[in-house]
Chain A
Amino acid sequence: MPHELRGSSAIVGIGLAGCGEAHGRSPLDILAEATHNALDDAGLSLSDVDGLFTGSAYHFMPTLSTAEYLGIRPRYSDGSMVGGSSFVAHTLNAAMAIKNGLCDVALICYGSNQRTAGGKLATMSEQQIYEIPYKPRYPISSYALAAARHMHQYGTTRGQLADVAVAARLWAQLNPEAFVQDELTREAVLNSRMISDPLSLLDCCLVTDGGGAVIMVSHERAKYFQNKPIYLLGTAAAHWHRQITQMPDLTVTAAVESGQRAFNMAGITKNEVDVVEVYDAFTINTILFLEDLGFCRKGEGGSYVANGNIAPGGSLPVNTHGGGLSCVHPGMYGIFILIEAVRQLRGDCGKRQVDGAEVALVHGNGGVLSSQATSILGTEETL
């Protein structure tokens, strides 16, 4: 029997705002504009929103600050904070709230002015007291340690890491909204300034501003909206650690668990996935997640991403808007992969459109490979 949440809710509105640079605007200004755009896309207004799901590094009580700014009084609010994966993880909570009648119109939203406010790959995270004496750069050093271990254990090369960045850039060149568009070669990535070995500057995501919002409603209501509804087929979240010393095996993330549970709920296999959007804060992420989600075997991610296999024209379309590496990455990034997946399934992606895309897998990451959240979305045909 299919899981009761499978296809029980759908995304009927999406909105972006301030992606790139949004001078003079606060995180909530950007969030509110993205929300306006998503509501406009759905044909709804703010007064229709009765469920709020948001996370923030700027507001200690993000649902309170967001609802106050928007002037809404949601019946159901959830500010679960699992870093950049929060917004992917929120799809499960929103689906449950909708299914149980706790809200009718769920708004999942985020905004950040990380670039124009500071411009650094900064974090609001508390320092880990047992790490402080050793001065790791947070978060990059944790990802570098994972990359180094993967290279040691499986022979993954810096060139293969660079191929992830090159593939993302090739997708970005098909997306007029991507923040960086200029040509990128493997050599340029390899020769970029080393930061925390083996990760160099171009192994790291962008630091941009930006906001995103998604509107979810029940399956029953979804068919009355102006857009083609995109259904939530399966979703799950898992976390095994917070700080990098506690990650049992630096080459295996909890995406193994979140992915399996999301696939089980959706009742599909990886072979039915047409497009994949994974959280590429660093190049090693894409390799780890493609392995852990089952698109290739453990240890084979390096060769899998090489030779343009995940680039336009390759066998698996991955991060089709250019990813966090080349399109947009304002601190927490999960909402943006959700939105790109919906656009692909609507068939609205222009030159970067994956032909006949019916099923999309979205995978969010938070902390230092700590929190993993997977959502599988599909068109009406997949129900």
Chain B
Amino acid sequence: MSQIVNISTGPDQTWSDYLKNQILALPKCTECEKFHFFPRIVCPYCGCFKLEWQRLSGIGEVYSCTTIHRKPERGGNYNVSLITLDEGPRMMSRVEGIKPELVKIGAKVTASINNETDKPFVIFTPLVQP
């Protein structure tokens, strides 16, 4: 995919700039062809420094999840999940649109980008409502 950001910026900024443009992308190794997360300037699987940012499908699966208990007056319980993306990398996120207690390991989820603040982040919702 064409670079939409100045390639002289670091990977953290690149990730963030893509998200601000509603694009979910990660570096992919030109040698071993693996994506990795969190974004780096070197492929952690083969040591290659030639990487290309590519768009992701946004589809993934809940690898593990926890419900963090919090008093209702402070916002109530919430979910923290590890999502394995269909392209391979695993990231921390939150599954929304479903009660935290109902998030299950193995559930298919789809990404969306929360752009409400100047620090955009990825959240997931169930691909199929349970």
Which residue numbers of A lie inside 8 Å of B, CB to CB?
129-131, 133-137, 141, 144-146, 148-149, 152, 193-199, 244-246, 250
Contact = CB atoms under 8 A, between A and B. Distances in A.
B5 interface: no
B18 interface: no
B23 interface: no
A245 B92 CA distance: 6
Contacts of B94: 133-134
B91 A245 contact: yes
Contact of B68 (A133, A137, A146): A137
A190 to B, nearest CB: 15
Contacts of A131: 92
Q: Which 3 A-B pairs have the closest CB atoms?
A: A133-B121, A144-B66, A197-B67
Given A129-B12, A130-B92, A133-B121, A149 B68 contact: no
A199 B12 CA distance: 32
A28 B93 CA distance: 39
Contacts of B12: 129
B38 interface: yes
Interface string B101-112: 100011000000
Interface string B69-97: 10000000010101000000011111000
Given A130-B91, A131-B92, A133-B121, A244 B68 contact: no
Nearest to A136: B80
B85 to A, nearest CB: 11
Nearest to B90: A245
Contact of B82 (A133, A135, A199, A244): A244
11 contacts: A135-B80, A141-B66, A145-B65, A145-B82, A148-B64, A148-B66, A152-B106, A193-B69, A196-B69, A199-B66, A244-B92
The prevalent SS among residues of B at the interface is strand
A194 B69 contact: yes
B63 A134 contact: no
Contact of B69 (A133, A136, A195, A244): A195
Contacts of A199: 66
B98 to A, nearest CB: 15
Given A131-B92, A245-B38, 7 more contacts: A134-B92, A135-B68, A141-B68, A148-B64, A148-B66, A197-B67, A250-B63
By CB atoms of chain A within 10 A, which of B80, B82, B93, B94 has the most? B80
Contacts of B106: 152
Contacts of A130: 37-38, 91-92
A196 B66 contact: yes
A136 B64 contact: no
A136 B103 CA distance: 16
Contacts of B82: 145, 244-245, 250
B63 A149 contact: yes
Given A129-B12, A245-B38, A134 B93 contact: yes
A346 B61 CA distance: 51
Given A130-B92, A135-B80, A245-B38, A145 B64 contact: yes
Nearest to B39: A130
Contact of B64 (A137, A146, A195): A146
A148 B78 CA distance: 16
A353 B80 CA distance: 42
Nearest to B68: A196
Contacts of B66: 136, 141, 144-145, 148, 196-199
By CB atoms of chain A within 10 A, which of B69, B91, B121 has the most? B69
Interface in B1-54: 12, 37-38
B15 to A, nearest CB: 8
A15 B101 CA distance: 46
Contacts of B63: 149, 250
Contacts of A197: 66-69, 101
A221 to B, nearest CB: 44
Nearest to B100: A197
B120 to A, nearest CB: 9
Contacts of A144: 66
A233 to B, nearest CB: 34
